[in-house]
Amino acid sequence: MEFFYPVVKFFTAGGAFMFPILLVGAISAAIAIERYITLTKMGARNRSTWARVEPTLASADFEKARELTSKDESPIARVSSRSAPTTSRRGPMSQPCSACWAR
């Protein structure tokens, strides 16, 4: 309780200017907490999706990768489903690139 009283005294000494500062601080803290929770959940979903999709991409099974990502709403799945090459494409992207995945 000894810490609490000097804080209250400092707040009351600041007068009316302390209330907007307190309000902005509370809103900022709420936004920071919400962002932390959202980004933590999103990161976990991305890691889970990548663990399922990466082996199919490494084996150049792009249709299966597209199928896996089309059903998922994680950010990495949305990007992957739109950027995975199709099997009708011929050329360098139609073959697996093990050197690319080794990085």
pLDDT tens readout for residues 45-90: 999 888 988 898 888 888 888 888 888 888 888 787 677 555 554 5
Q: Is the pTM of this model over 0.75?
A: no
Residue from 63, 57, 68 nearest 95 by CA = 57
Residues 6+ apart with CB under 8 A from 65: 53, 56, 57, 80, 84
pLDDT of residue 13: 87
Query: pLDDT digit string (tens) for 20-35?
Result: 999 999 999 999 999 9
